[in-house]
Structures are given as C-alpha cells and as structure tokens.
Amino acid sequence: MNTSKPDITKRQQQLLNELKRCPDELSGQELHRKFHNGQKAMGLTTVYRNLQVLVKQGLIRSRHLPNGEVLYAPVERDIHHLTCVSCGETTRLQGCPVKTMHIPQKASKKFELLFHTLEYFGLCQNCSQGLNA
C-alpha cells in the first residue's frame, strides 16, 4: 500500500482545508461561493475539477443526492445517511455498519482501499404517509 501523501496544489489544499473546517458536507456550489471573491478567488469549473482530483486521491469523499447534487467531505469524517428519494430529506446513521464487513485478503492485496460510502435510499415518514393517504 502506498502510504505517502499525494502532492496537491495550493487550490486543492484550500478546498481540503475548507471541507475540514466546516462540520457539514459542502456542495461544489457552496465551496465556489466561499472562494468566489478575494485573493483566493476560484471559478466554478476550477472548484469541481479540483474536487474530482481530491476524490481520486482519496482525500475527500463525495455523496450523490437524488436531485443530482453532490456533497463533499473529508474521508476522515465517516458518516452515512438515510435519504428520501422524494423530498431529499437526509438522516445521519449512528456508527458505521461497513466497518464490520470483511474484505477477502486475496482481493485486498490487489486493491488499495481509499474510502467507502454507504447510503440507504427510501421514503421518509412524511412522504410515505403521503403515498398512503
């Protein structure tokens, strides 16, 4: 396994620092607004391009919402969700059920695991009741 830190640019470091500083997941649009003005100005395309690099390097994770929006957070923040496909309401799960799963040793020798995601999709109580009414 390669344990060396990947080289990242100044802009990627700025995005990573902002994601680590903020307790919530952030969208590319939200990050763009934070870096839109001032000396740290960054265009929207630049934000998304650098977010993709950080995901590929295993430094941040992305979570895709039913409406197409993508939220980003540092990989150290191991949070999983229940998401309503109708209204988009999201509930955090307590703990990580994936941590108890076992990856076969043969597979793990051929694969460098960077991070994992887990998301359950369904209907929240309000949307479920609306269908049954």
| pLDDT tens figures, 59-107 | 999 988 888 899 999 988 878 888 888 888 888 888 777 777 777 666 6
What pLDDT score was predicted for residue 1?
Answer: 46
Classify 10-132 by CATH class.
Answer: mainly alpha
* Separation CA 52–CA 59 (nearest Å): 10
5 closest CA partner among 54, 61, 40? 54
Q: How far is CA 46 from the centre of its chain?
A: 18
pLDDT for position 46: 94
In the predicted model, is pLDDT for residue 3 greater than 60?
A: no
Confidence (pLDDT) at 118: 78
Q: How far apart are CA 51 and CA 77, in angstroms?
A: 16
* Distance between CA atoms of residues 110 and 32, nearest Å: 37
Q: What is the pLDDT of residue 99?
A: 72
Asked if pLDDT for residue 50 goes beyond 60, the answer is yes
Look-up of token digits 């479920």? 128
What local confidence, expressed as pLDDT, does residue 40 receive? 74
pTM, rounded to two decimals: 0.73
Q: Are strands 81-84 and 119-122 parallel, antiparallel or unpaired?
A: parallel
Write the DSSP assignment of the chain as a string of letters. ---SPPP--HHHHHHHHHHHHSSS-EEHHHHHHHTSSSTT---HHHHHHHHHHHHHTTSEEEEE-TTS-EEEEETTS---EEEETTT--EEEPSS-GGGG----HHHHHT--------EEEE--HHHHHHHH-
Rounded mean pLDDT of the chain? 85
